[in-house]
């Protein structure tokens, strides 16, 4: 299965739950026992990070494409709640040193 | 035309406490910004049209609440009087919370100020670094301030600086937030900036420790619904990873004037807000001009800006060429490159490995786990999606 198809399958099943549901599903996919969180996997994944990110985003575009007519609309869907994913308002206010990075709203 | 999204105003450089990791060099100075300086700033910002798409004003770079409420009532009225009717503007404070009494809580609620409180977790962790000038912990006063905000129903978030000690204690951190009713959490890492050298950054394996901390904190939040509603690092990483291919990333910190900072004397800087107030002969202390002497609209033509921008863009280009995570951060944080690597025209930092790369890894790893639970030998929680064949 291609990377894109793999992520498309995963995200197609996650998307109807909205952003909160996605976060719960991903957050809950951790190892169960407290204090046993793993380090990042040491074995290199079959694909590089940039390939994996591109495949994830292709899958997101494909899912949103069913609801939006063009690329501009897909971005608008995402920015305004991602077609029902409902991300909270977010700003890229990075890097405020030791006291302040981004504001959550 | 530049677009100011975030305007940082230093009402005073003074801070009533003396955190051990603070790099602000002038925090014993009790000077206060003059009314004329505020008028010069906001009249020019509004006249320039650079803020026509809305503006967030953060009063910070010193403890904002050491000034009286009357100062802000007057300042807000002045600004409102200059502001075009169709420009939206939000005032925000980032505060240590120690001075929030009933009057402040009422004013914050009345004025609709967005509030972030700096608290580093439970008392034993908070008081390691967030101390008075005599070395006493500030936890009790900060928590009292947070409780006043909660009593008034004021929405707030907290920012906690993670050190080696707190990174080892995700359960203790979670329990503390849950017990205090703190629902919106942002984590910063103790960084090397200005004169401060982070001990955490020097630790072997610190990036993996950060990954484990976030992973466990996220798991705890999921396992206890309704306690922590927002973890900034997780939310922003999810949004950044799970975005349509067409959504381009905008690196605010590498874009001139997207973040604009003014100190109490009227000096103006841009890019990373921490740059203002720091000494650097190579870049003339990062000061582009002074709002009391110079025209805001002339600052984009300053040779210093062009030199900084050129070096920052060179660093961004190097990140684009060399980093698998470029689409996540858009070329990183200039201030971290400068203090960790010695220049803007550089690439990876410990800061970005921790806060961008490992968090992205976490999201991608969780997607893999959701998709392939059989590979882990563990059952997924009830209600989770079926394995992908």
Burial B228-250 (b: 16+ CB within 10 A, else e): bebbbbbbbbbbbbbbbbbbeee
Of B100-104, B138-142, B371-375, B381-385, the range with the lowest mean pLDDT is: B381-385
The average pLDDT across B248-265 equals 89
Question: Looking at residue B105, what is its pLDDT?
Answer: 96
Sheet holding B114-118, edge to edge: B230-231, B184-189, B156-162, B114-118, B89-95, B55-59, B6-9, B259-262, B267-270, B289-290
Residues of B in contact with A77 (CB under 8 A): 244
| Alpha carbon of B300: minimum distance to chain A alpha carbons (Å) | 21
Residues of A in contact with B325 (CB under 8 A): 49-50, 53
**Which of B330, B365, B367 to probe the A interface (max A CBs under 10 A)?**
B367
Is A34:B220 a contact under the CB 8 Å cutoff? yes
Question: Looking at residue B276, what is its pLDDT?
Answer: 85
ipTM confidence score: 0.84
Continuous segment of H or E residues that includes residue B315: helix B303-322
The average pLDDT across B175-194 equals 87
Q: How far is CA B33 from CA B103, B267, B268, in A?
A: 22, 11, 13
Residues of A in contact with B253 (CB under 8 A): 94-95
Is B370:A19 a contact under the CB 8 Å cutoff? no
Of A9-18, B326-335, B368-377, the range with the lowest mean pLDDT is: B368-377
What is the β-pairing status of strands B267-270 and B184-189? unpaired
The average pLDDT across A73-92 equals 43
Q: What is d(CA B141, CA B99) in angstroms, rounded to the nearest whole number?
A: 8
Count of A-B CB contacts under 8 Å: 238
Is A95:B333 a contact under the CB 8 Å cutoff? yes
A48 interface with B at CB cutoff 8 Å: yes
Question: Looking at residue A63, what is its pLDDT?
Answer: 82
The average pLDDT across B196-210 equals 75
pLDDT digits (tens, 9 = 90+) for B125-150: 999 999 999 999 999 999 999 999 99
Higher-scoring residue by pLDDT: B355, B123: B123
Is the model's pLDDT at A95 over the cut of 60? no
pLDDT band for B374, please (50, 70, 90 cuts). low
pLDDT digits (tens, 9 = 90+) for A5-49: 999 988 888 877 776 777 888 888 887 655 555 566 555 556 799
Give the side-chain half-sphere CA count within 13 A for A80: 9
Question: Looking at residue A84, what is its pLDDT?
Answer: 39
- Mean pLDDT of all residues belonging to chain A: 65
Taking CB atoms and an 8 Å limit, are B212 and A9 in contact across chains?
no
Q: All domains of chain B, ordered by start, with CATH?
A: 6-241 (3.20.20.70), 302-372 (no CATH)
Longest dimension (CA), chain B: 67
Which residues share a beta bridge with B370?
A: none
Closest residue, chain A, to B167 (C-alpha): A35
How many other CB atoms sit within 10 Å of the CB of residue B29? 14
Taking CB atoms and an 8 Å limit, are A104 and B235 in contact across chains?
yes
Taking CB atoms and an 8 Å limit, are B116 and A56 in contact across chains?
no
């Amino acid at each position: 299965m291609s990377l894109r198809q793999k992520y498309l399958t995963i995200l197609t099943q996650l998307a109807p739950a909205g952003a909160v549901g996605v976060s719960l599903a991903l957050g809950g996919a951790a190892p169960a026992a407290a204090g046993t969180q793993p380090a990042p996997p040491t074995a290199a994944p079959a694909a590089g990070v940039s390939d994996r990110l591109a495949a994830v985003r292709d899958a997101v575009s494909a899912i949103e494409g069913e609801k939006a007519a063009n690329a501009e609309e897909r971005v608008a869907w995402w920015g305004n709640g991602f077609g029902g994913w409902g991300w909270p308002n977010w700003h890229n206010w990075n890097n405020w040193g030791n006291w302040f990075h981004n504001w959550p709203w | 035309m530049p677009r100011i999204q975030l305007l940082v105003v230093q009402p005073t450089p003074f801070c009533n406490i003396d955190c051990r990791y603070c790099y602000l060099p002038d925090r014993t100075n009790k000077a206060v910004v003059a009314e004329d300086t505020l008028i010069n700033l906001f009249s020019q910002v509004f006249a320039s049209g650079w803020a026509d798409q809305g503006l967030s004003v953060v009063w910070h770079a010193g403890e904002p609440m050491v000034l009286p409420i009357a100062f802000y009532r007057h300042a807000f009225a002045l600004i409102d009087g200059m502001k075009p009717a169709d420009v939206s503007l939000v005032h925000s404070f980032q505060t240590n919370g120690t001075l929030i009494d009933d009057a402040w809580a009422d004013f914050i609620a009345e004025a609709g100020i967005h509030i972030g409180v700096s608290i580093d977790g439970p008392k034993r962790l908070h008081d390691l670094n967030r101390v008075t000038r005599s070395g006493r912990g500030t936890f009790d006063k900060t928590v009292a301030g947070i409780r006043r905000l909660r009593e008034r129903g004021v929405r707030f978030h907290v920012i906690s600086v993670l050190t080696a000690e707190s990174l080892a204690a995700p359960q203790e951190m979670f329990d503390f937030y849950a017990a205090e009713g703190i629902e919106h959490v942002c984590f910063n890492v103790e960084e090397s900036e200005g004169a401060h050298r982070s001990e955490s950054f020097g630790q072997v394996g610190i990036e993996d420790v950060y990954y484990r901390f976030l992973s466990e904190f996220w798991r705890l939040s999921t396992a206890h619904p309704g306690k922590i509603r927002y973890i900034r690092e997780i939310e922003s990483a999810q949004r950044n990873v799970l975005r349509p291919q067409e959504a381009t990333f905008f690196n605010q910190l590498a874009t001139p004037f997207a973040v604009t900072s003014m100190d109490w004397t009227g000096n103006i800087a841009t890019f990373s807000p921490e740059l203002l107030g720091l000494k650097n002969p190579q870049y003339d202390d990062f000061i582009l001009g002074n709002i009391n002497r110079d025209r805001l609209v002339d600052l984009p033509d300053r040779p210093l800006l062009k030199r900084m921008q050129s070096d920052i863009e060179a660093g961004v280009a190097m990140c684009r060429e060399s980093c698998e995570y470029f689409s996540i951060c858009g070329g990183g944080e200039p201030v971290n490159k400068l203090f960790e690597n010695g220049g803007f025209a550089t690439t990876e930092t410990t800061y970005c490995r921790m806060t961008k790369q490992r968090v992205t890894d976490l999201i991608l790893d969780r997607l893999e786990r959701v998709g392939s639970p059989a590979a882990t030998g563990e059952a997924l929680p009830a209600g989770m999606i079926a394995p992908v064949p």
